[in-house]
Amino acid sequence: MPINLYRLGLLAAGLLVAFLECIAFSTAHAKRAPKDSGASTTIVVIDAGHGGYDRGGIPGQKVAEKDMTLDVAQRLKNVLASNGYRVVMTRDSDVFVSLGGRVAIANSYPNAIFVCIHFNSANRMGAGGIETYFYSRESLPLASAIHYYVAGGAPSSNRGVRRRGYYVLRKTNIPAVLVECGFLTNPTEAAYAQTAFYRQKLAEEIAAGVRGRNSVAGGLTTTRVATAESIPLQPYMDQTKVAKSERHKSKRSHKKSARRKKKPSKPDSEAKASPKNQEG
């Protein structure tokens, strides 16, 4: 019991220090966030990941991702609205919306930008950090700005910007990003996410990225430090080949399964004699 109390005390102290660092760094970031002169004419479609029967995350995960994404999305809606943006939500309550439905909502606003909010998960509890995804080239400045502020303002590691063909990014016709706000399977990051203070800071940092998207430098630079005039375009890891490979593998598996279903069943004696059938 004394050992457990000691560990809890250390965890609480660590969280307090991280929060104080987060406050100081986030305040400095917020002051440097450029203003968006076109806010009143900009529509931001906010997509809270998962919802309804889809909890998100992995089996056995204690913290439901759908609840965290919705809370951050609603906070982001309030921050952006107070800055003069028109906001559209793909979901504003605990309901399930298909990926196609989310894309349809986004594409119905041709001059908008799309921000999809998620939290990460992994079987390894030590996995942690912030990462931001995009697909189209015109989405990179938005991804760069949002990632610069979220990763810079969070007390978690920076996992970088990644290009990947997720459905909601690949099928949208407007600048679109998906931000992973930390790992809910990481005890420390899950503890952050379950506080209203931290979810509010995430919303404010994402909003800072939205405001600063037009101030992203035109070319890749070696620095990630923003100046008064610009935010550096972030280097990124291209994972589109990985995504394509997974999709093709899934399609091949689906076709093989369909062919198996079409084949007539063999007599028991023939099935026992075939080593392929024995392997399933």
DSSP 130-194: EEEEE-SGGGHHHHHHHHHHHHHHSSS-EEEEEE---HHHHS-SS-EEEEEEEETTSHHHHHHHT
How far apart CA 270 and CA 268 sit, in angstroms, is 6
pLDDT given for residue 53 in this prediction: 97
Inform me whether the pLDDT recorded for 221 exceeds 90.
no
Structure token digits, residue 4? 């457990």
Half-sphere exposure of 199 (CA within 13 A, CB side): 22
pLDDT given for residue 241 in this prediction: 82
Residue 238 host element (H or E): strand 236-238
pLDDT given for residue 156 in this prediction: 94
131 contact partners, CB below 8 Å, separation of at least 6? 120, 147, 159, 160, 161, 162, 179, 180
Which of 7, 11, 9 lies closest to 19, judged by CA?
Answer: 11
Which of 251, 211, 219 lies closest to 235, judged by CA?
Answer: 219
pLDDT given for residue 72 in this prediction: 98
pLDDT given for residue 243 in this prediction: 54
Q: What is the mean pLDDT of residues 155-163?
A: 96
Inform me whether the pLDDT recorded for 219 exceeds 60.
no
Q: Which of 14-23, 105-114, 235-244 has the highest mean pLDDT?
A: 105-114
Contact status, residue 167 vs residue 99, Cβ threshold 8 Å? yes
pLDDT given for residue 96 in this prediction: 98
Looking at CATH, the fold of the domain delimited by 2-238 is given as Aminopeptidase (3.40.630)
Of 149 and 259, more confident: 149
pLDDT given for residue 236 in this prediction: 96
Q: What is the mean pLDDT of residues 143-156?
A: 96
Q: How high does pLDDT run on average in the chain?
A: 81
Neighbours of 254 (CB within 10 A): 10
Of 222 and 182, more confident: 182
Inform me whether the pLDDT recorded for 60 exceeds 80.
yes
Inform me whether the pLDDT recorded for 17 exceeds 50.
no
Inform me whether the pLDDT recorded for 272 exceeds 60.
no
Q: What is the mean pLDDT of residues 261-274?
A: 39
Inform me whether the pLDDT recorded for 152 exceeds 70.
yes
Which pLDDT band, with edges at 50, 70 and 90, does 34 fall under? low
pLDDT given for residue 36 in this prediction: 66
pLDDT given for residue 181 in this prediction: 98
What is the residue type of 220? Answer: L
Neighbours of 224 (CB within 10 A): 16
3-state SS, residue 124: coil
Which of 73, 66, 115, 47 lies closest to 199, judged by CA?
Answer: 73
> What tens digit of pLDDT does each residue of 81-116 get?
999 999 999 999 999 999 999 999 999 999 999 999
pLDDT given for residue 229 in this prediction: 60
